[in-house]
């Protein structure tokens, strides 16, 4: 019988060999796919296994991970002043991330290559991996003022404040907003319900209006048109006068472009006056004089058309295609296909404030490792020189006049000069307008540049930039300067 | 003539008891380290009960060793340490799942049944001084085996749990008589085949290059087949059905050296499986799951779906090559990970490395058993040892192959690891039989000292 027992042994050997081969296939070859299957909750739990880095701004904690000692969901994410910061900070949900939580995920989770040495040390010393903290450039007081001003009267809109010299984003508020805590619960179904509810809301609270959406900038765009016109010819200055009829027949059409509310600019106006009283026909004439290419080039120099990463993705602004003179006249006053983000308009104000140099906007001030070791600090970078210092000076004088004598009086601050420009953009025939205001202060040594945008219909049917947007800009600039 | 010459003339097997004790201590040490690992993995603390568990297991195995040393001194030195290791790792995994507050997992229960298992092991060694006594009980064993097999079908006595009617409720306990039937039937097969092997091996005619047995000799094969199919149909227990039929075919082959039996067996089995697949939805569902475990529709099916299998595969995949470490994975996500799916749970935390080692230990146990079969001196012992070793290997293959989706999943316990008293007791009994037979096989034969004339001296 020994020969058959030996053959049976070979059969046993084969069975064990097959089992071994199969587990090698499963755990070495196929492991990756099994691990990452969406039905495998282990990767879901792994999201909560390590202490995620904090998100801070100006000494305040905006988001942090709290140890719950739970075996499945060890660290819970908590947000403070959620709605105020949500458009920037975003959220850390079971299956997705957004905002800074998304853009800086590798640092926050501790998986970034920059943290490799740290992780290795932790591995050797048997310490759990911890994420790095992200410190934002936001100024909490200004951010709160911006959000509260928008929210108070149920407005929809956005506020962006920049430091002209560096491009640091001092405030970026968007309303309506949401509480990220509702989506931070480690419960896929609950988080998905909260998300879907927000997503279905007609007011789109999940969108950061400052960077996710573009809007017709209205008269604030006249600063760009002025910049192009002044740069086009060195002999021009604020006192150069241009044709400013009460109504401008649009070439190639049988309609005419009127001034706002049919007001008169007196037939001819200096650049200074034209901007102060926001004379539509004067700027339409300037653009028709320069041509589309010149205006588009100027817009590009302010940063339009670029895909910026701050590190949140910014939707590129666009003044529209070259579609003839009638279209160009409308583009020059910020109408028609001219679509700009509030951040981009803040960059226009900041560029003028910074002697023509537009700085690359950024949100992350510094990244601090888990042992309080600084991993990186923001280094301001120039994006482009939009205008020469001389032209910037002329523009500043014109914008000062707007706040002192023109449509932007609501933005005046005590003890200093403020430069600004209002905008009231028509969205559709008969519909309420978007209200805009861009400004910087103090005008002689700018510390802050802002853009305020209030969406059409959210602040009454007769909303204007001067009445609705300028007071918000006033409060935000004051909050930054009082820092 | 000196004694050295005598030793040279007849090679003596060594008892190797010192080595056995050292190996046993090593196995207990590994298990204790694993206990500590679970605690450290879960909350950075060595579990408070570790010393109790360790000393308990150590004490039990020391007792088993002492019984073995006294009543089967020539037994194979590796069997007990290897079984101790697998039993211990199973205990640790169940303890770990209990810590994760998994419903149903109870390490203290399993430790209790391990203790009873060791008592049964010792009792078998003490009471069964000569295993050939079993040969005299061939038909008794056959009837007992059959009786145990159909016991769960008795109304009011049998219980259906998780879709299979393989349980019998006695008092507060549930026992799986099929586990004991397995042993009784192997004893029966061995006794029966030894008696009938000549007729099964020789009679028949040659057809198409194959030696076919006579039609009337097909009787026992057909009866076993019918019983297996009966178990499959009436108790919905695919695992036991496959286990018994496979073991019988292997043993008939070992006894008769006839390949035609294996072919007939495979044909009968494939036919039966195909028929069952056509007739019964639960068999067909197993095949669907085997072929497409990733299918979302099967995954979401509440009964007979692939949820459990896929969760087990997820666990093993997440464990990868080195595993998450004890206490650091999520094996509690796998349904029944303390019983049928304990192999997948172990794979998640100990990784490919741990599973390869575990399979190696199982393979070694089987190898020691088969070695005993080769060394045994009479046909009954050879067949019994070979059958018991094969059924152990076959059971590991069926359940581990099922859990790892190598073959369709059929419910069976992983020997010595899965939680459950019946399986633990019957497997400890199986090991006791192997130990008893290896003792008989390795014991040096009585030596006639020829210089002393006709006097015979027996050596103990």
Q: Which CATH number do you get for residue A351?
A: 3.40.710.10
Structure ipTM: 0.91
What confidence score (pLDDT) does residue B270 get?
85
CB atoms within 10 A of CB B267: 10
The minimal CB distance from A20 to the residues B316, B359, B367 is found for: B359
Q: Give B21's pLDDT tier (boundaries 50, 70, 90).
A: very high
- Residues in A whose CB is inside 8 Å of some CB of B read 1-9, 11-13, 15-16, 18-20, 22-24, 26-28, 30-35, 37, 39-43, 45, 71-72
Q: Nearest Cα to B112, choosing from B72, B47, B60? A: B60
Q: What mean pLDDT do residues B401-409 have?
A: 92
Angle between helices A222-232 and A342-353 (to 10 degrees): 40
What confidence score (pLDDT) does residue A337 get?
84
What confidence score (pLDDT) does residue B94 get?
94
Checking phi first, is residue A351 left (phi over 0); if not, alpha (psi -120 to 50) or beta? Answer: alpha
Per the listing, tokens 């082959």 go with B253
Give yes or no for residue B156 having a pLDDT over 90.
no
Give yes or no for residue B23 having a pLDDT over 50.
yes
The minimal CB distance from A27 to the residues B254, B352, B367 is found for: B352
The minimal CB distance from A39 to the residues B299, B347, B374 is found for: B299
Given A65, A174, A219, A231, which residue is catalytic?
A: A219
B294 neighbourhood in chain A, CB within 8 Å = 37
CB atoms within 10 A of CB A5: 22
Distance from CA of B37 to the nearest CA of A (A): 14
What confidence score (pLDDT) does residue B276 get?
78
Give yes or no for residue B453 having a pLDDT over 60.
no
- Beta carbons within 8 Å of A333's beta carbon, 6+ residues apart: A218, A219, A221, A222, A225, A257, A280, A283, A284
Question: Nearest-CA residue of chain A relative to B318?
Answer: A35
Q: Is residue A340 part of a domain?
A: yes
For chain A (483 residues), the mean pLDDT of every run of 10, in chain order, is 91 96 94 86 81 90 86 85 91 87 88 79 75 91 92 86 93 91 85 89 90 90 90 84 82 76 77 86 88 90 90 90 83 86 93 92 90 86 90 91 87 88 80 87 91 81 80 91 81
What confidence score (pLDDT) does residue B122 get?
95
Give yes or no for residue B48 having a pLDDT over 70.
yes
- Cα–Cα distance measured from residue A92 to residue A63, given in angstroms and rounded to the nearest whole number: 10
Q: CA quadruple A218, A222, A227, A232: dihedral positive or negative?
A: positive
- Beta carbons within 8 Å of B250's beta carbon, 6+ residues apart: A8, A11, B386, B387, B390, B394
Per the listing, tokens 């909303």 go with A463
What confidence score (pLDDT) does residue B380 get?
94
Q: What would the pLDDT profile of B197-217 be if each residue is shown by its tens digit? A: 887 777 766 666 666 667 667
Q: Nearest Cα to A213, choosing from A340, A337, A320, A102? A: A340
Q: Is residue A43 part of a domain?
A: no
Q: Give B2's pLDDT tier (boundaries 50, 70, 90).
A: very low
Peptide bond preceding A176: is omega within 30 degrees of 0, i.e. cis?
Answer: yes
Give yes or no for residue B430 having a pLDDT over 90.
yes
Domain holding A307, by residue range, is: 218-364+381-481
Q: Is residue A32 part of a domain?
A: no
Q: Is residue A136 part of a domain?
A: no
Q: What would the pLDDT profile of B252-271 be if each residue is shown by its tens digit? A: 899 988 888 888 888 888 88
SS3 label, residue A117: helix
What confidence score (pLDDT) does residue B457 get?
58
Q: What would the pLDDT profile of B76-129 be if each residue is shown by its tens digit? A: 999 999 999 999 999 999 999 998 888 888 888 899 999 999 999 999 999 998
What confidence score (pLDDT) does residue B295 get?
83
B299 neighbourhood in chain A, CB within 8 Å = 39
Q: Is residue A179 part of a domain?
A: no
Of the CA atoms within 13 Å of residue A182, those in its CB half-sphere come to 13
What confidence score (pLDDT) does residue B9 get?
46
- Cα–Cα distance measured from residue A441 to residue B77, given in angstroms and rounded to the nearest whole number: 90
SS3 label, residue A170: strand
Angle between helices B307-319 and B342-375 (to 10 degrees): 80
Containing A295, the helix (H) or strand (E) segment is helix A292-301
Q: What would the pLDDT profile of B158-205 be if each residue is shown by its tens digit? A: 777 766 777 787 766 778 888 899 999 999 999 988 988 887 777 766
What confidence score (pLDDT) does residue A116 get?
80
Give yes or no for residue B349 having a pLDDT over 90.
yes
**Residues B283 and B304: beta-carbon distance below 8 Å:** no
Q: Nearest Cα to A71, choosing from B101, B258, B205? A: B101
**Residues A282 and A244: beta-carbon distance below 8 Å:** yes
Per the listing, tokens 């090593």 go with B26
Q: Which two tokens stand for residue B257?
A: 């050296």
Q: What would the pLDDT profile of A231-263 be if each residue is shown by its tens digit? A: 888 888 888 888 888 888 887 777 777 777 667
């Amino acid at each position: 019988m020994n020969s058959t027992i030996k053959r049976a042994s070979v059969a046993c050997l084969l069975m064990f060999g097959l089992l071994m081969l199969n587990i090698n296939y499963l755990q070495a070859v196929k492991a990756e796919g099994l691990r990452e299957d969406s039905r495998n909750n282990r990767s879901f739990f792994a999201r909560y296994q390590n202490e995620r880095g904090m998100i801070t701004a100006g000494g305040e904690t905006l988001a942090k991970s709290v140890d719950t000692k739970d075996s499945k969901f060890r660290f819970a994410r908590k947000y403070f002043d959620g709605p105020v910061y949500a458009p920037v900070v975003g959220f850390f949900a079971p299956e997705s991330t957004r905002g800074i939580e998304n853009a800086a995920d590798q640092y926050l989770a501790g998986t970034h290559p920059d943290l490799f040495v740290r992780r290795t040390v932790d591995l050797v010393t048997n310490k759990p991996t911890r994420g790095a903290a992200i410190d934002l450039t936001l100024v909490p007081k200004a951010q709160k003022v911006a959000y509260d001003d928008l929210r108070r009267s149920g407005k929809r809109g956005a506020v962006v404040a920049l430091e002209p010299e560096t491009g640091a984003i001092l405030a970026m508020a968007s309303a309506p907003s949401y509480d990220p805590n509702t989506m931070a619960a480690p419960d896929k179904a609950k988080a998905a319900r909260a998300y879907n509810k927000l997503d279905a809301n007609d007011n789109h609270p999940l969108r950061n209006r400052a960077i996710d959406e573009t809007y017709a900038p209205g008269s604030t765009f006249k600063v760009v048109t002025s910049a192009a016109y002044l740069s086009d010819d060195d002999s021009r200055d604020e006192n150069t006068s241009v044709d400013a009829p009460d109504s401008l027949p649009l070439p190639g059409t049988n309609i005419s472009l009127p001034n706002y509310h049919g007001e008169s600019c007196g037939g001819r106006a200096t650049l200074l006056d034209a901007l102060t009283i926001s004379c539509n026909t004067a700027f339409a004439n300037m653009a028709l004089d320069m041509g589309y290419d010149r205006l588009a080039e100027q817009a590009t120099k302010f940063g339009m058309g670029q895909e910026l990463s701050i590190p949140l993705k910014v939707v590129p602004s666009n003044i529209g295609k070259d579609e003839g003179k009638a279209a160009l006249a409308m583009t020059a006053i910020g109408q028609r296909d001219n679509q700009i983000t509030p951040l981009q308009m803040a960059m226009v104000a900041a560029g003028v404030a910074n002697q023509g140099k537009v700085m690359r906007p950024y949100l992350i001030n510094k990244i601090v490792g888990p042992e309080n070791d600084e991993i990186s600090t923001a280094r301001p970078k120039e994006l482009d020189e939009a205008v020469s210092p001389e032209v910037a000076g002329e523009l500043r004088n014109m914008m000062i006049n707007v706040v002192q004598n023109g449509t932007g009086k609501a933005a005046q601050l005590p003890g200093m000069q403020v430069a600004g420009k209002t905008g009231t953009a028509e969205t559709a025939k008969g519909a309420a307008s978007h209200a805009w205001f861009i400004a910087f202060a103090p005008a002689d040594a700018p510390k802050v540049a802002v853009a305020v945008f209030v969406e059409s219909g959210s602040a009454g049917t007769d909303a204007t930039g001067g009445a609705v947007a300028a007071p918000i800009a006033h409060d935000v600039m004051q909050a930054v300067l009082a820092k | 003539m000196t004694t050295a010459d005598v030793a040279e003339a007849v090679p003596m097997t060594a008892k190797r008891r010192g080595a056995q004790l050292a190996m046993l201590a090593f196995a207990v040490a590994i298990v204790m380290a694993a206990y500590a690992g679970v605690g450290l993995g879960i909350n950075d603390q060595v579990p408070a009960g570790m010393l109790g568990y360790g000393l308990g297991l150590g004490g039990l195995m020391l007792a088993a060793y002492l019984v073995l040393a006294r009543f089967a001194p020539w037994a194979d030195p590796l069997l007990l340490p290897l079984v101790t290791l697998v039993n211990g790792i199973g205990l640790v995994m169940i303890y770990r799942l209990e810590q994760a507050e998994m419903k149903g997992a109870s390490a203290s229960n399993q430790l209790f049944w391990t203790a009873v298992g060791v008592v049964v092991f010792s009792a078998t060694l003490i009471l069964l001084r000569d295993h050939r006594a079993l040969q005299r009980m061939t038909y008794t064993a056959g009837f007992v085996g059959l009786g145990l097999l159909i016991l769960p079908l008795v109304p009011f006595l049998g219980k259906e749990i998780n879709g299979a009617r393989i349980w019998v409720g006695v008092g507060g306990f549930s026992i799986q008589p099929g586990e004991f039937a397995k042993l009784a039937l192997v004893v029966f097969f061995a006794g029966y085949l030894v008696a009938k092997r000549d007729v099964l091996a020789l009679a028949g005619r040659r057809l198409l290059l194959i030696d076919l047995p006579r039609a009337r000799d097909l009787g026992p094969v057909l009866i076993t087949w019918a019983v297996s199919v009966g178990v499959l149909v009436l108790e919905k227990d695919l695992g036991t059905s496959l286990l018994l039929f496979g073991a019988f075919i292997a043993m008939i082959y070992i006894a008769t050296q006839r390949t035609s039996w294996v072919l007939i067996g495979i044909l009968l089995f494939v036919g039966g499986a195909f028929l069952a697949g056509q007739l019964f939805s639960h068999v067909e569902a197993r095949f669907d799951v085997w072929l497409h475990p990733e299918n979302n529709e099967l995954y979401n099916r509440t009964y007979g779906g692939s949820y459990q299998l896929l969760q087990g595969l997820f666990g093993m995949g997440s464990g990868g090559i080195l595993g998450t470490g004890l206490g650091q994975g999520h094996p509690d996500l796998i349904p029944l990970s303390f019983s049928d799916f304990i192999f997948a749970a172990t794979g998640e935390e100990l990784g490919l490395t741990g599973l390869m080692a575990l399979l190696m230990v199982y393979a070694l146990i089987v190898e020691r058993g088969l070695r005993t079969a080769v060394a045994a001196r009479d046909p009954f012992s050879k067949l019994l040892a070979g059958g018991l070793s094969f059924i152990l290997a076959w059971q590991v293959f069926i359940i581990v192959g099922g859990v790892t989706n190598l073959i369709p999943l059929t419910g069976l316990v992983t020997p010595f690891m899965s939680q459950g008293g019946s399986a633990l007791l019957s497997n400890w009994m199986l090991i006791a039989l192997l130990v008893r037979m290896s003792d008989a096989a390795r014991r040096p034969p009585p030596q006639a000292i020829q210089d002393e004339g006709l006097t015979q001296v027996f050596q103990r």
